Structure 1
Amino acid sequence: MFKFLVENHSLYTLFKLHWVIFFLIISSLYRKKVVQSPLYSVTKNQKYYFMIAIILLLLLKATPFDVIATQYLFSAHTLQLSLTYFVVIPLLILSFPTNFWRQYIWNHRTKFALNILAHPWLTLITFNGLLTLYFIPAVFNVVHMNFFLSFIVQVILFINAIFMWWVMINPVPEIKGLDYLLRALYIFLASLALFPIGFFYVIIQHAYFPMYLPIEGAIIPALTLIYDQQAAGGILKITQLASYSFALLFILMKWGKLEEAKEGQVEEENIRYVRGVVIHLDKKKR
């Protein structure tokens, strides 16, 4: 496989130096402006999240895998998008401390726009709807006839994925979002949203992408166009469900810690002071 790629593509095409430089610059800025800044307190886990996200992006965009995903295998392209939207984006959001988001995102210039763009149910519909539309064969074939159009579509999907994960993670407590129970419901609904398109590719027995026909079997001889499409459907659902399962576990753990912290504490709204004596009111009698 590697021999075939080297014979048909230049080294620069296989190993994209511009992406390496770009991610190195991003990593340097993160270290100088965030990790080393006295304004923020960055945990080890946040550093690990950022490192994993950058390594994944390098593997997906700056190695021969990008050529395979772009020109040869629909399943590789689906894996590339799935890892970016369902793994890299939440890791990047988690890698920045709350004060960073509070300073640069939640201010008087961005509050209004963020409240609209990151509206929970709007993001649920837009991201999953656009991703489903993108994977419809007729739309996919048209989009990939033009490199610029393909790039624009993927940028739009990337931005919408950020807003969807923003709702799930809710990195800034000041932003009025969903409570823990509704966030769990949100994740459940999001996991169902891509089920139809994923199931469609798993069961189909017809090749829908003529662009891959001339190079069928060039990378993996046993992988026909139909098998490639079926693999793509499985990859999409497995990656999505795995990332949402971790997100649900993360939310439930935070919810559990919050409830533990409340144990033994008396809510201020149930307290009345009468001549220096503290009176605890029964909620049913208030």
Structure 2
Amino acid sequence: MSNLWIFGFQALWSPFFLFFMASILICYFLIIGPYRNRFENAEKVNKKQIFYFTTGIVLLYIVKGGPVDLLGHIIFSAHMFEMAVMYIAVPPLLLLGIPIWLYQYITSFKAVQIILMLFTKPLIALFVFNGLFSFYHLPAVFDAVKQSQIAHTLFLAILFFTAMMMWWPMLNPLPKYQTLSEIKKIGYMFANGVLLTPACALIIFASESLFATYTDPSLWMKAMELCVPAGTLNDLNITGPEFLHWMPVVEDQQTGGIIMKIVQEIVYGTIIGYVFFKWARKERKKDEEQLQAVPPYLQTK
């Protein structure tokens, strides 16, 4: 960590991104607090939802605005940890943190309805996110995107949008958009894991370095300009990522693939458990209601 300080405060903590994340969090607390009565059927948000949303924003800043993002430009395993948290862990936390009355308000806009109609159909959401994620990690695409500030920012923003759309069929609370039963949701999560496996396997079992961005000094320096001011880089006597003395490139690459798979399994397993127990409670409640509807003299028989 101490080695990273040579890149300066701006590269290490991304103050502009911090301000952006803080603004979102402030707007969230204003909406669910002082301005809640401006929304129809607005109820008090429970502490669990506040925890989910706040945790999602904090994690997003840590991996995209904090030292993890800078480290991800130097070592591949940090990059994969960043991707795993940003696209696998953060979206469900944000969706779980939004109260139903705010969902109803957001989806009342025609533009939002069109977006949801186009991108949240389970099969489309499933294949678009996993397809884009795998496409991004094709070596030629990865190295090309890492050389352009515009392409890098645009691609990651689109990927985050598709990640939110992928999680929508699982976690949105609106009956109108409930297109999957609980059993289908579990299958949907298993399918997500299967579709992401080839990209992880390609990285884990590769016997040589796949990404020139982490081995070619000129490409690495160009990629570092995405998060480090050019003036700062020019003043440093660094020629490549080896200054960090992390681990051999191939081992770092394999570690990155393993990290992605582990985080994915933990999050998907947690969500499957969440859906299963929610379904079990619903079924139990339904059985109790049916039992109460039976006349007492029949219940004793």
TM-score, scaled relative to structure 2: 0.83
State how far apart, in whole Å, the 2-side matches of 1:66 and 1:222 are: 16
What residue in structure 1 maps to residue 226 of structure 2? none
Change (3 A) 1:62 1:176: closer
The answer for the alignment partner of 1:87 in structure 2 is 89
Q: Please give the secondary structure, in 1, of the residue aligned with 2:289.
A: coil
Q: Structure 1 vs Structure 2: percent identity of aligned residues? A: 28
Number of residue pairs the alignment of both structures matches: 265
- DSSP 3-state at the match of 1:204: coil
Residue 49 of structure 1 is matched in structure 2 by 52
Does the 8 Å CA contact 2:95/2:172 hold for their aligned counterparts?
no
Q: Which moved more, 1:156-165 or 1:98-107?
A: 98-107
C-alpha displacement at 1:108, in angstroms?
4.9
Displacement of 1:165 after TM fit? 0.5
Give distance in 2, aligned partners of 1:200 and 1:264.
50
Quote the Cα distance in structure 2 between the aligned partners of 1:121 and 1:35: 37
CA distance 1:62–1:111, change in 2 (3 Å): closer
- Distance in 2 between residues matched to 1:106 and 1:175, nearest whole Å: 13
TM-score, normalization: structure 1?
A: 0.87
Higher share in helix: 2
Please state how far the C-alpha of 1:244 moved relative to its aligned partner: 0.6
1:100 Cα offset (Å): 0.7
**Once structures 1 and 2 are overlaid, which stretch shifts more, 122-131 or 109-118?**
109-118
- 1:33 deviation in Å? 0.8
Runs of 4+ in 1 over 3 A off after TM superposition: 106-110, 264-267
1:59 positional shift: 1.5
Cα RMSD after superposing both structures: 2.0
- SS of 2:173's equivalent? coil
Letter of the structure 1 residue corresponding to residue 285 of structure 2: A
Q: Which of residues 202, 205, 213 in structure 1 aligns to 2:204?
A: 202
Does 1:14 pair with 2:12? yes
Shift of 1:222: 4.4
1:218 to 230, 243, 258: 243
What is aligned with 2:4?
5
Note if contact 1:217-1:224 (Cα within 8 Å) is conserved in structure 2. Answer: no
Question: By how many angstroms is 1:173 displaced?
Answer: 2.0
Q: CA deviation at 1:48?
A: 0.8
1:74-101 deviations in whole A, cap 9, x for unaligned? 1111111110111111101100111110
For residues 212 and 55 of structure 2, the distance between their equivalents in structure 1, rounded to whole angstroms, comes to 35
Give the direction of change, closer, same or farther, for the CA distance of 1:64–1:110 in structure 2 (3 Å limit): closer
2:203 corresponds to 1:178: no
2: CA distance between counterparts of 1:192 and 1:173?
28
